[in-house]
Amino acid sequence: MAQSVLLTGAAGRVGDAILGDLAAEYEWRLMDRDPPTEDYPGEFVVADITDDDAVREAMDGIDAVIHLAGDPRKTAPWDSVLTNNIDGTQTIFEAAVDAGVEKFAFASSNHAVGHYETEDRTPDMYRADDDYLLDGTELPRPGNLYGVSKAAGESLGRYYHDEYGIAVVNVRIGNLTKGHPPIDYERGQAMWLSYRDCAHLFDRCVKADYDYEIVYGISDNDRKYYSLERAKDVLGYEPQDNSAHHD
């Protein structure tokens, strides 16, 4: 029987990529703050992730969570990320461990490490011949308050894993665009994530065995300053796309 997966923020862009390829792969329970405006596979729950009762109800019978919900704007003000991204993520984790969920994939972000892109390193680090690589063992260096909120989500995951044993993977998502990589934007090409690689990566987050991981979510771009080693080795991620092949 297919696993039951709760997808929060289902109506967003990452949810769109995931459901585009994996609609038939799982028994989906989809959650979003706004009512659906199109057809979705599986049950659709309209609820805010900070609504503890609604979240607990939605967690019933769930095997794995893909937690995408939150304010996605890199310019989001503090009050919004505090509530939607930090408090919301804690609500989801708490309900997940109480419900006995086994796996939890958290949509973290490149913005959690945005300030590694210092004046000294850029734009060289965005280029294929530069060997600077972040691999997920480095401390966060958020580029904005949105990034601070994503780093906090990763810490919450570390705590819930260590305390309760739930498997947690944080995917620091790069620049997700449909069809082709960003044009005339070196940084975006370096951290490009295609829709199909995105869907495949989150599929691996549900199927693979792991304890606690921080991986980078990008395609196999020639330009690259995020290591794919953990995603490949631990999750079995096999990206198909490369921004260099679309120039």
Contact footprint for its own copies (CB under 8 A): 78, 82, 86-87, 90, 94, 115, 137, 139-145, 147-148, 151-152, 155-156, 158-159, 162-163, 214
The answer to the question of whether 85 is labelled as a binding residue is no
Nearest distance in Å: CB 105, its own copies:
18
Count CA atoms closer than 13 A to 218's CA, side-chain side.
Answer: 30
The answer to the question of whether 146 is labelled as a binding residue is yes
Which backbone phi and psi does 60 adopt, to 5 degrees?
Answer: -65, 125
Comparing CB distances to its own copies, the nearer of 9 and 140 is 140
210: nearest Cα among 102, 65, 63, 92: 102
Sign of the torsion formed by the C-alpha atoms of 132, 135, 140 and 146? positive
The answer to the question of whether 219 is labelled as a binding residue is no
Nearest distance in Å: CB 175, its own copies:
21
- Choosing from 26, 146, 226, 237, the catalytic residue is 146
Nearest distance in Å: CB 52, its own copies:
11
Nearest distance in Å: CB 164, its own copies:
11
CA-derived radius of gyration, the chain = 17
Burial of 202 (0-12, 13-18, 19+ CB in 10 A): buried
| 237 a catalytic residue | no
Comparing CB distances to its own copies, the nearer of 161 and 204 is 161
CB contact at 8 A, 117 and 187: yes
CB contact at 8 A, 133 and 224: yes
Comparing CB distances to its own copies, the nearer of 8 and 149 is 149
- Could you list the residues known to form a binding site, using ranges: 84, 109, 146, 150
Q: Which residues are catalytic?
A: 146
- Could you list the residues known to form a binding site for NAD(+), using ranges: 84, 109, 146, 150
